[in-house]
RNA sequence: GGGCGAGUAGCUCAGUUGGCUAGAGCGCCCGCCUUACAAGCGGUAGGUCCGGGGUUCGAGUCCCCGCUUGCCCA
């Protein structure tokens, strides 16, 4: 009962001839559209993945190809399994990265800087760039076969996401979780903007280490101080004080690479274990020329010099004096020390990094002499400080010193740690941090801090794959610092806060009542919220801040702007909107009252099923999604997670273990691979590479013809696909079309021959292994299983083995077809295109079923991607058939080996002489052995002419008719090699068995096995020796 | 400085409670255009499992020390 019209396919598989057409079929069928109604009605279970949105800054690279292939494998697998699947696609605006790229482009093309444009004008340029790259990225994802729900594609700055950002910001602001504070940022003094940490490049520079002396003083009261003498210190037991003239003023020597920052010093620190520390208690240092008197504090951060017990292997200890100048405004470590000791923070620089008294240097007094530095650049001031100290006898030494300094990747200027006002999310608050820690599954926790509570059903559900990444997540949260979310950029979500300096917030008397009334109403209505300092902080804000929930709320804005309020010019860190991605893409905060596109999505698909990403994202993104999802989707207690599973995949490096990068020119473009090898080949290879390790290497080669980078690793995937196509189209489809008739509608395994039962058994095992591997995110195991079952089992053994019988065995033809159709389905998530191409013609061959093999129609059987996942019952696992078939495989291998050694021409048929048991056993396999080993007969009769004996399972078999005359030398050589191998093996076995420890302690079955094996090999050796004797 | 990996054949990698003479793909070499497939088929060679200790009857696998190398965080 064959279908009337058969699908014809070309003889050779050229991916580019099929992939676009297959994509078009998927699109036309709306195959990837998710329907939340089916979930909400309870009809199906949801499976969803939120794409980690690629930056619109650049086209996708191989890491994206890997990341998205793995997601697609999961999505397609679950879709076939019958889940309602949603894979939400989208892109990220990537604030600074994108703005920078566009700035470079505009400078190159128009010779203009960003500041030559109005803000809106420049943003329009970035927007145009974004549109271009978003399209490109979308095309790439489609070319990769990603089965996203394309009708729901999002962008982190589109309207619904912007609304989510405003809502989240407003709520956090209102709840006191967003505050204004000071912090050191990476400041680029040339372009005058803050930079993210990853935009700072560390470079080794040849700098100096300067040793400066700070005179010590007593301070009776502020402004009244007197020198400390060495004799005083000696009296207090200060080691070494006696070496100095008694009446001279004592000093401490600090060592620094940046002498000019001494202008902002607010303390000198000494290690509490330093033997000099005790004598210095209560004393102070006076900064030369500046006149500032600063305390001497104790802090264990200070490195002890080697002479005082410091670590000899520590380079710092060799250079250190044991005294550290503390400049909280100009060094991140000093900032930390300043926080610990509540030191004043004195900024001595202007935004261009020149020395200035106008940006926080409040105790500046030109009469002391520091005026000589004001206005100098950092570099000139550095030299001037050295000169002035030298002139006063306070410069102890200057040594050359190579050290690492952060530079702007844009201007290449040295980064200045610069104090500025920024917005922060108080992620250290229990409502955020604890919620993230409690989210972790308990068996992945290593500390007892904030464990899941029994009372919260959403606690303890977050699991990392592989396990070890849980530790990264845990430690990050335990050492968390508040999150700086403001960026001095134009491209991004503008911070919805308006402010005015207190002393400018003047409301005319007659308007005061109305104004106060207005904002009380607005607060009650949730339209505005006033900000304060961080909870528990004593500091006062210098401005009045109001967050306006809706930036289009003209009434409110007009009112505040009337009193001088202006909107914050900064934008939010990109990760703020990314943190909302699992919610915003599904329509939050208006999930159920906007258009159909979002209706029910949040309820049906949040939490999503898994997040698939790279490990550097655990801290930047995963943490923040967990905190925001739990906080914003919560009632009184912590709410649900954005996803229960986090899968972290490997990073692809080049063949030398280097990161792939543009500057090294070692990147591989996925589109080039798709062009040269086909998408399926790329996907297969990427899956196979995805083991549980951190990094995988991909040797990169430049194609001499195209000049494009490629890698030989993809050949395996391409060859695999070719094999599949040749087997399916070239053999199975052709043969089963030509030979039909009499197929049973249902085939019972018991009625089948050994080779069929073996094949079904192998298929059952592979299916089981694949299901298990997928549940554990073991993509490499999945790919390996596919390779083994298709190539090794189905093509190399099964199809070769059934050749002589298939034409006359209708039931066997059913097995051939059913197994192929099952394999196509198993393969589909990894290699979707070629399997979709083959699915129709293979399905058209279906004439019967095998009991235990189910091939469900799924949602829509006209496409493989919406067909059901195959079920292969474990009852098909047949140990007996496997044992018999494997024995035959070993025999065929042994015969092939003899053939090769005797150089028997491939086509020459030879004769196997065996004992009756063996012959009987082989005859149960049909003609399989003869076909695979190239035999004309298997017989119990003795060879007539010359024959070559060989050993198999301890039994001597013979092969005859190898050649017109057997070459004795070849045979002797073969036997001698065999003897050598046997001697080695027998020696090892004897040694093991003569060890009483082994026979007494090892499991009995292992000892027994070893004995049997020894006996068998000894028998083989005897036979080989005998044969060698006969040869003479 | 803290954390996490990796080191097994020329290359890329498997090796799951410790147990056959350590495997695969590619590459090398040999033989084959055998009627699905030369992007293929059959076969050979190739390994002190980074080094050193330890536990064990038995270690690529577990423990300790070291070397090399990569990534993340500070």
Taking the CA of residue A722 and the C1' sugar atom of nucleotide B40, their distance in angstroms comes to 10
How many angstroms separate the Cα of A222 from the Cα of each of A225, A226, A291, A294, A633? 8, 11, 12, 11, 54
Report if CB A775 to strand B is under 7 Å. Answer: no
| pLDDT, mean of residues A907-915 | 89
Dihedral sign for Cα A352, A358, A359, A360, please: positive
pLDDT of A594 reads 54
Report if CB A897 to strand B is under 7 Å. Answer: yes
Residue A313 clears pLDDT 70, i.e. is over it: no
pLDDT of A422 reads 83
Least trusted range by pLDDT, from A6-20, A26-40, A303-317, A936-950: A303-317
Residue that wins the pLDDT comparison between A813 and A1027: A813
Of A862, A773, A758, A756, nearest to A813 by C-alpha is A756
Residue A477 clears pLDDT 80, i.e. is over it: yes
The answer to whether A328 touches A294, Cβ cutoff 8 Å, is no
A525-561 residues labelled b (16+ CB within 10 A) or e (exposed): eebbbebeebeeeeeebebbbbbbbbeeeeebbebbe
CATH code for the part of the protein at A193-415: 3.90.740.10
Residue A3 clears pLDDT 60, i.e. is over it: no
Report if CB A1005 to strand B is under 7 Å. Answer: no
Residue A391 clears pLDDT 70, i.e. is over it: yes
- The pLDDT tens digits for A617-666 are 887 888 899 999 999 887 656 688 899 999 998 888 887 777 777 777 77
Which tokens hold the place of A313? 């292997």
Report if CB A970 to strand B is under 7 Å. Answer: no
Tokens 């089948």 correspond to what residue?
A752
Residue A27 clears pLDDT 80, i.e. is over it: yes
* Closest nucleotide to A658: CA versus each C1': B70
Query: With left for phi above 0 and alpha for psi between -120 and 50, is residue A652 left, alpha or beta?
Result: beta
Interface confidence, given as ipTM, is 0.94
pLDDT band at A601 (very low <50, low <70, confident <90, very high): confident
Strands A709-710 and A701-702: antiparallel
Taking the CA of residue A822 and the C1' sugar atom of nucleotide B20, their distance in angstroms comes to 33
What are the residue ranges spanned by the domains of chain A? 193-415, 967-1032
pLDDT of A196 reads 65
pLDDT of A553 reads 86
Cα distance between residue A20 and residue A42, in whole Å: 35
pLDDT of A32 reads 94
* Chain mean pLDDT for chain A: 86
Report if CB A985 to strand B is under 7 Å. Answer: yes
pLDDT of A6 reads 63
| pLDDT, mean of residues A792-821 | 91
- Could you tell me the maximum CA-CA distance found in chain A, to the nearest angstrom? 126
> Which residues 856-895 on A are within 7 A of strand B at the CB atom?
893
Helix or strand run (H / E) with residue A737? helix A734-738
Helix or strand run (H / E) with residue A402? strand A395-408
Report if CB A384 to strand B is under 7 Å. Answer: no
Mention every residue, 6+ apart, whose C-beta is less than 8 A from residue A570: A423, A486, A487, A488, A489, A494, A495
Cα distance between residue A311 and residue A897, in whole Å: 65
A51-63 residues labelled b (16+ CB within 10 A) or e (exposed): bbbbbbbbebbbb
Residue that wins the pLDDT comparison between A967 and A334: A334
Report if CB A715 to strand B is under 7 Å. Answer: yes
Report if CB A4 to strand B is under 7 Å. Answer: no
pLDDT of A273 reads 85
Residue A409 clears pLDDT 70, i.e. is over it: no
Query: What dihedral do alpha carbons A657, A661, A663, A669 form, nearest 10°?
Result: 120
Residue that wins the pLDDT comparison between A410 and A559: A559
Highest mean pLDDT among A123-137, A443-457, A598-612: A123-137
Say how many CA atoms lie within 13 Å of A632 toward its Cβ: 30
Report if CB A983 to strand B is under 7 Å. Answer: no
- The pLDDT tens digits for A572-600 are 988 899 999 999 998 888 766 656 666 78
- The pLDDT tens digits for A42-97 are 899 999 999 999 988 888 888 899 999 999 999 999 999 999 999 999 999 988 88
Taking the CA of residue A908 and the C1' sugar atom of nucleotide B8, their distance in angstroms comes to 40
Question: What percentage of chain A has pLDDT greater than the value 90?
Answer: 31
Alpha carbon A715 to chain centroid, angstroms: 25
- The pLDDT tens digits for A713-768 are 899 999 999 999 999 999 999 999 888 888 888 999 988 999 999 999 999 999 99
**Secondary structure of residue A967 in the 3-state scheme:** coil
Taking the CA of residue A901 and the C1' sugar atom of nucleotide B30, their distance in angstroms comes to 10
Neighbours of A32 (CB within 10 A): 23
Q: Which residue is nearest to nucleotide B35 (CA to C1')?
A: A731
Taking the CA of residue A878 and the C1' sugar atom of nucleotide B56, their distance in angstroms comes to 37
Query: With left for phi above 0 and alpha for psi between -120 and 50, is residue A742 left, alpha or beta?
Result: left
The answer to whether A910 touches A927, Cβ cutoff 8 Å, is no
Cα distance between residue A775 and residue A78, in whole Å: 10
Q: Which residue is nearest to nucleotide B5 (CA to C1')?
A: A694
pLDDT of A86 reads 95
Strands A566-567 and A543-548: unpaired
Report if CB A98 to strand B is under 7 Å. Answer: no
Taking the CA of residue A664 and the C1' sugar atom of nucleotide B65, their distance in angstroms comes to 37
Taking the CA of residue A657 and the C1' sugar atom of nucleotide B69, their distance in angstroms comes to 9
* Closest nucleotide to A1001: CA versus each C1': B57
Report if CB A816 to strand B is under 7 Å. Answer: no
* Closest nucleotide to A467: CA versus each C1': B4
Least trusted range by pLDDT, from A58-67, A777-786, A1013-1022: A1013-1022
Report if CB A712 to strand B is under 7 Å. Answer: yes
pLDDT of A724 reads 94
Query: Options 3.40.190.290, 1.10.287.380, 1.10.150.110, 3.40.50.2300; which CATH number does A967-1032 get?
Result: 1.10.287.380
The answer to whether A745 touches A849, Cβ cutoff 8 Å, is yes
Residue A536 clears pLDDT 60, i.e. is over it: no
- The pLDDT tens digits for A675-720 are 989 999 999 999 998 888 888 888 888 887 788 888 888 999 999 9
* Closest nucleotide to A999: CA versus each C1': B57
Neighbours of A658 (CB within 10 A): 12
pLDDT of A489 reads 85
> Which residues 299-358 on A are within 7 A of strand B at the CB atom?
314
Helical residues (DSSP H) of A789-872, grouped into ranges:
800-802, 810-827, 832-844
Residue A169 clears pLDDT 70, i.e. is over it: yes
pLDDT of A198 reads 58
Protein-contacted bases of chain B (C-beta within 7 A): 1, 3-6, 11-15, 19-21, 25-26, 30-32, 34, 36-37, 39-45, 56-58, 69-74
Neighbours of A17 (CB within 10 A): 11
Cα distance between residue A253 and residue A248, in whole Å: 15
The answer to whether A402 touches A204, Cβ cutoff 8 Å, is yes
Report if CB A571 to strand B is under 7 Å. Answer: no
How many angstroms separate the Cα of A736 from the Cα of each of A807, A808, A861, A901? 9, 11, 21, 37
Residue A265 clears pLDDT 80, i.e. is over it: yes
Report if CB A526 to strand B is under 7 Å. Answer: no
| pLDDT, mean of residues A998-1015 | 82
- The pLDDT tens digits for A746-758 are 999 988 999 999 9
pLDDT band at A1 (very low <50, low <70, confident <90, very high): very low
Q: Which residue is nearest to nucleotide B20 (CA to C1')?
A: A1010
Mention every residue, 6+ apart, whose C-beta is less than 8 A from residue A322: A270, A271, A274, A276, A302, A303, A304, A305, A308, A310
């Amino acid at each position: 009962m064959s279908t009337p019209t058969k699908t014809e396919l070309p003889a050779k598989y050229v991916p580019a001839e099929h992939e676009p057409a297959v994509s078009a079929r998927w699109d036309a069928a709306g195959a990837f559209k998710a329907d939340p109604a089916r979930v909400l009605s309870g009809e199906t279970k949801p499976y969803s993945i939120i794409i980690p949105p690629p930056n619109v800054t650049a086209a996708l690279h191989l890491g994206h190809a890997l990341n998205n292939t793995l997601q697609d494998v999961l999505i397609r697998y679950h879709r076939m399994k019958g889940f309602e699947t949603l894979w939400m696609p989208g892109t990220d605006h990537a604030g600074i990265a994108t703005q920078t790229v566009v700035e470079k482009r505009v400078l190159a093309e128009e010779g203009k800087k960003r500041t030559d444009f109005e803000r809106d004008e420049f943003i329009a340029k970035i927007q145009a760039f974004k549109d271009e790259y978003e399209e490109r990225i979308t095309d790439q994802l489609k070319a990769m076969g990603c089965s996203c729900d394309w009708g729901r594609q999002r962008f982190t700055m589109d309207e619904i996401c912007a609304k989510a950002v405003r809502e989240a910001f407003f709520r956090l602001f209102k709840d006191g979780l967003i505050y204004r504070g000071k912090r050191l940022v990476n400041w680029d003094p040339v372009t005058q903007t803050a930079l993210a940490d990853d935009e700072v490049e560390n470079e080794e520079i040849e700098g100096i280490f300067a040793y400066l002396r700070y005179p010590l003083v007593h301070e009776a009261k502020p402004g009244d101080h007197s020198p400390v003498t060495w004799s005083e210190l000696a009296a207090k037991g200060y080691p070494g004080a006696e070496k100095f003239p008694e009446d001279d003023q004592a000093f401490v020597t600090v060592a620094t690479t940046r002498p000019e920052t001494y202008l902002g010093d607010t303390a000198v620190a000494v290690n509490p274990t330093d033997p000099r520390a005790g004598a210095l208690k209560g004393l102070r240092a006076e900064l030369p020329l500046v006149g500032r008197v600063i305390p001497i504090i104790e802090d264990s951060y200070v490195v002890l010099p080697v002479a005082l017990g410091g670590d000899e292997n520590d380079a710092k200890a060799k250079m250190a004096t044991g005294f550290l100048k503390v400049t909280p405004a100009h060094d991140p470590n000093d900032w930390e020390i300043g926080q610990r000791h509540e030191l004043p923070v004195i900024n001595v620089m202007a935004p261009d990094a020149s020395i200035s008294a106008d940006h926080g240097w409040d105790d500046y007094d030109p009469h002391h002499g520091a005026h000589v530095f004001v206005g100098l650049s950092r570099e000139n001031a550095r030299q001037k400080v050295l000169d002035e100290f030298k002139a006063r006898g306070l410069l102890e030494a200057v040594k050359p010193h190579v050290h690492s300094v952060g530079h702007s990747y844009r201007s290449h200027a040295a980064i200045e740690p610069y104090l500025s006002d920024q917005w922060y999310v108080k992620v250290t608050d229990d409502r955020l941090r604890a919620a993230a820690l409690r989210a972790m599954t308990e068996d992945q926790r290593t500390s007892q801090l904030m464990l899941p509570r029994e009372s919260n059903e959403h606690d303890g559900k977050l699991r990392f794959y592989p396990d070890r990444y849980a530790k990264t997540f845990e430690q990050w949260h335990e050492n968390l610092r508040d999150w700086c979310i403001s960026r001095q950029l134009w491209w991004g979500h503008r911070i919805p806060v308006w402010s005015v300096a207190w002393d400018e917030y003047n409301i005319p008397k007659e308007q005061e009542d109305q104004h106060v009334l207005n904002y009380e109403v607005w607060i009650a209505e949730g339209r505005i919220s006033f900000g304060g300092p961080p909870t528990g902080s004593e500091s006062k804000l210098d401005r009045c801040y109001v967050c306006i929930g809706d930036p289009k709320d003209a009434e409110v804005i007009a009112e505040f702007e009337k009193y001088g309020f202006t909107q914050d010019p900064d934008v939010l860190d990109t990760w703020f909107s990314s943190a909302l991605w699992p919610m915003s893409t599904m329509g939050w905060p208006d999930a159920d009252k906007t258009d159909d596109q979002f209706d029910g999505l949040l309820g049906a698909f949040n939490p999503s099923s898994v997040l698939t990403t790279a490990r550097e994202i655990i801290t930047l993104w995963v943490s923040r999604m967990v905190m925001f999802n739990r906080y914003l989707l919560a009632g009184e207690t912590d709410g649900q997670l954005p996803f229960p599973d986090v899968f972290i995949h490997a990073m692809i490096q080049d063949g030398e273990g280097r990161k792939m990068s543009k500057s090294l020119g070692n990147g591989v473009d996925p589109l080039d691979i798709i062009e040269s090898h086909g998408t399926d080949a790329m996907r297969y290879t990427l899956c196979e590479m995805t083991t549980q390790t951190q990094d995988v290497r991909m040797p990169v080669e430049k194609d001499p013809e195209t000049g494009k980078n490629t890698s030989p690793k993809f050949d395996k995937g391409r060859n695999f696909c070719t094999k599949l196509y040749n087997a399916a189209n070239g053999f199975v489809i052709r043969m089963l079309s030509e030979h039909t008739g009499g197929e049973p509608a249902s085939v019972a395994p018991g009625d089948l021959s050994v080779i069929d039962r073996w094949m079904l058994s192998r298929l059952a095992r592979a299916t089981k292994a694949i299901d298990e591997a997928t549940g554990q995110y073991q993509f490499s195991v999945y790919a390996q299983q596919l390779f083994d079952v298709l190539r090794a089992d189905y093509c190399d053994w099964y199809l070769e083995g059934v050749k002589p019988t298939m034409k006359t065995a209708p039931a066997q033809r059913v097995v051939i077809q059913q197994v192929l159709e099952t394999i196509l389905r198993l393969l589909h998530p990894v290699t979707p295109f070629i399997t979709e191409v083959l699915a129709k013609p293979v399905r058209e061959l279906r004439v019967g079923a095998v009991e235990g093999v189910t091939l469900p129609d799924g949602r829509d059987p006209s496409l493989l991607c919406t067909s059901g996942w195959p079920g292969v019952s474990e009852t098909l696992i047949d140990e007996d058939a496997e044992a018999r078939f494997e024995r035959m495989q070993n025999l065929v291998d042994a015969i092939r080996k003899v053939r090769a050694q005797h150089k028997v021409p491939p086509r020459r048929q030879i004769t196997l002489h065996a004992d009756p048991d063996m012959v009987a056993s082989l005859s149960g396999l049909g003609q399989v052995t003869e076909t695979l080993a190239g035999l004309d007969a298997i017989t119990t009769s003795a060879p007539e002419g010359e024959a070559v004996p060989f050993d198999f399972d301890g039994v001597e078999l013979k092969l005859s008719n190898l050649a017109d005359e057997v070459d004795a030398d070849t045979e002797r050589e073969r036997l001698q090699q065999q003897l050598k191998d046997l001697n080695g093996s027998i020696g090892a076995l004897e040694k093991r068995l003569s060890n009483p420890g082994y026979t007494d302690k090892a499991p009995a079955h292992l000892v027994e096995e070893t004995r049997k094996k020894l006996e068998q090999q000894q028998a083989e050796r005897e036979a080989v020796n005998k044969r060698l004797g006969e040869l003479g």
